[in-house]
Structure 1
Amino acid sequence: MAILSICVEPADQPDIDKLMQLSDAVAERLYPGEFRRPLNGRALDRPDVELFVARSGNGNALGCAALFYLGEGTAELKRMIVAPEHAGRGVGRSILVALLAEAVRRGLTTILLEVGTRNVEARRLYASLGFRERGPFGTYQATSVAGFMEICLPAT
């Protein structure tokens, strides 16, 4: 399986909804109860959000990640997901590398994220790309299942 492209695409598409359902299923498995916030592609279809989508040579969506622009050089990474049949093949890393490169190109200085404490694989991936632990930001509250990370980007 070779990734043909990672591009910014409209979020309101059926294959993106499938990826969001996968993301919700992972969250449900790891974090039952009130800590989950289901989301579909339509909810990501906003002017302040860009969705980075990895597609295979045959056009299948392998994974995605959303970048929410917060202003003042800051954005939040949300809804990073890779289809389970493609996990462990570098798809997530490729999406993040493309997303971070675009963030630098646009002059962003900081990318923030919230990641569940039980999502060990995601936390490891973020750390390997330079994300570091931090406290809650924005409207997030510290909970027993929430972790927060950030990366400071180089100036262009």
Structure 2
Amino acid sequence: MPDIALRIERLPITHPDAMLLVEAVQEEYVLRYGGRDESPIDPADFEDPLGSFFVGYLDGEPVATGAWRRSSVSALGADVTAEVKRMYVVPAAQRRGLARRMLAHLEATAADAGIQALVLETGMKQPEAIELYLSSGYEPIPGFGYYADSELSRCFARRI
């Protein structure tokens, strides 16, 4: 596969490109689950020192997002954790390895910030996401936070 020139920029979640992609992922949740993701999101969660939000660009077009925010969830023996949020690649850019590259970027930037492990939640109706996380070394963990009792949720973690 040729190297795809994905440019990843750290931006506020309130940046227009970030907001465009966050809305697109919400529309995807409506299609798959019948409603938006209602888990609480505070834009401050993605600012230093709490977290980071990233937008990936191909040829100047925003095509991917990924973020992490510090978490109180202990996982895999790690006490300093962050939660992956808003992983998304627009349909026209899917199946090109962009989600895997964004995830690697999240892992690297979180590790640079002193995070020991990443935790995340995804849904049963997103088998491609589950496959990405499992194939990237993430292990199933018990549900946590907003999703703790959701039968549609699957939670994962990975030491970084």
CA distance in 2, matches of 1:125, 1:93: 7
In the alignment of these two chains, the number of paired residues is 149
Residue 66 of structure 1: CA displacement? 1.4
Give the aligned partner of residue 67 of structure 1: 68
Report how far residue 54 of structure 1 moved: 1.1
CA distance in 1, matches of 2:102, 2:133: 12
Post-superposition Cα deviations, 1:44-83, rounded to whole Å, max 9, x if no partner, equal: 3543231122112x32111011101126521000110101
- What residue is the counterpart of 1:145 in the other structure? 152
- Partner residue in 1 for 2:123: 116
Q: Cα–Cα, structure 1 residues 144 and 101, in superposed 2: closer, same or farther, change >3 Å?
A: same
Contact 2:6/2:57 (8 A) holds in 1: yes
CA distance in 1, matches of 2:9, 2:111: 16
Q: TM-score, normalised by structure 1?
A: 0.84
| 2:43 is aligned with 1:44 | yes
Separation of aligned partners in 1, 2:110 and 2:39? 26
* 1:6-155 map, 5 Å: 6-33=8-35, 36-37=37-38, 43-46=42-45, 47=47, 48-56=50-58, 58-70=59-71, 72-153=79-160
Are the counterparts in 2 of residues 12 and 45 from structure 1 also a CA contact under 8 Å? no
Work out whether residues 140 and 156 of structure 2, in 8 Å CA contact, stay in contact via their aligned partners in 1. yes
- State the 1:39 CA deviation: 8.1
Structure 1 residue 38: Cα displacement: 7.7
Unaligned segments of structure 1, at least 5 residues: none
> Could you list the runs of 5+ residues in structure 2 that have no partner in the other structure?
73-78
Q: TM-score, normalised by structure 2?
A: 0.82
Change (3 A) 1:150 1:54: same
SS in 2 for 1:3: coil
